[in-house]
Structure 1
Amino acid sequence: MEITEVAKQYDIPTDTLRRWERIGLIPPVTKTASGLRNYTAADLSWVRYAKTLLAAHLPEDFLIEYVTLAQLGAKAKPARSAFLKAQLAEIQTTCTQLTTIMTDMETSLDKTNGV
């Protein structure tokens, strides 16, 4: 699939796709003999993954590091696992904090509404 098709399908500007590849947010995309990007199913999976994690407000640095580890293959599996566990712990902490904030706000609303 060409970059313009990918951009349209995932609602991502072509410049953004090129940037993601350039900075390592997604692995290098397969290219044709003439040098045009030709996104394979694996490339599309990385685009979906990047878009999803960025929408979840995970830092680009996290995804870049994960992509680097993934490209190292099986030998980096323990490092990838540890890296993901650490990120998951951070997300869980953030969720707990946000839940507390939501509860406090709901309590404040109840008090202001005479409940």
Structure 2
Amino acid sequence: METSLTIAEVAERTGLTAHTLRYYERIGLIAAVSRAPGGQRRYAGADMEWLAFLLRLRETGMPIQGMQAFARLRSQGDASVGQRREMLEEHLAEVQARVAALQQSMQALSLKIDHYRAVEKTRKCPPSSGTTPKGKTSNDEHTTGPGPRRQPALRARPRKAS
């Protein structure tokens, strides 16, 4: 006999609220959940597996509309396997692009942290002191040399007489 879970138990295990679980059922993300004789929802193991997958889709940024489209295809059975695969391949490509962008941002942050550590070391600033020696400023260039050069003042061009 398969064990079934109440909505409260599912909420605790998934981190979703009971309200969200009912909402997911109402909008078609979750097929109608079986009910106990008293009318309470009872989630089976297969329901939990599907919820876990939905949470993965949500965690990776798939919008609700995309999740609904996927759920509709899933309800069609094996006839929609190719469409579901294509949909997941497209989503995976989007996730990979976001991961690559995040990796670039992480690299930029690491470089900036390294820069600030080098500035602290060169100027003998205590880490996280929040101050720089008098008369010194820390610029945001990737050098430990002198600060940025001043640009010459822009001069207005003389107007031609008309």
Task: Tell me the CA shift for residue 48 of structure 1.
Answer: 1.8
Find the residue that maps to 2:78 and give its secondary structure: helix
Greater fraction helix: 1
Which residue pairs with 1:100 in the alignment?
104
Q: Deviations over 1:53-95 (max 9, x none)?
A: 3233332222222111111101001100110000001011111
Q: Is the 8 A contact 1:3 1:39 kept in 2?
A: yes
What is the TM-score normalised by the length of structure 2? 0.63
Structure 2 unmatched ranges of 5 or more: 120-162
Which residue pairs with 2:139 in the alignment?
none
Which residue pairs with 2:155 in the alignment?
none
Find the residue that maps to 1:113 and give its secondary structure: helix
What is the TM-score normalised by the length of structure 1? 0.86
Query: What aligned pairs does 1:62-73 form with structure 2 within 5 A after superposition?
Result: 62-73=66-77
Task: Tell me the CA shift for residue 105 of structure 1.
Answer: 1.3
Which residue pairs with 1:14 in the alignment?
18
Which residue pairs with 1:77 in the alignment?
81
Aligned residues: 115
Find the residue that maps to 1:57 and give its secondary structure: coil
Which structure has more relative contact order (CA 8 Å, sep 6+)? It is: 1
What is the root-mean-square deviation of aligned Cα atoms in Å?
A: 1.8
Find the residue that maps to 2:43 and give its secondary structure: coil
Sequence identity of aligned pairs in percent? 30
Q: Deviations over 1:2-21 (max 9, x none)?
A: 21222223332211110111
Q: Is the 8 A contact 1:30 1:37 kept in 2?
A: yes
One of 87, 90, 93 as aligned partner of 2:94:
90
Q: Is the 8 A contact 1:30 1:38 kept in 2?
A: yes
Which entry has the higher C-alpha Rg, 1 or 2?
A: 2
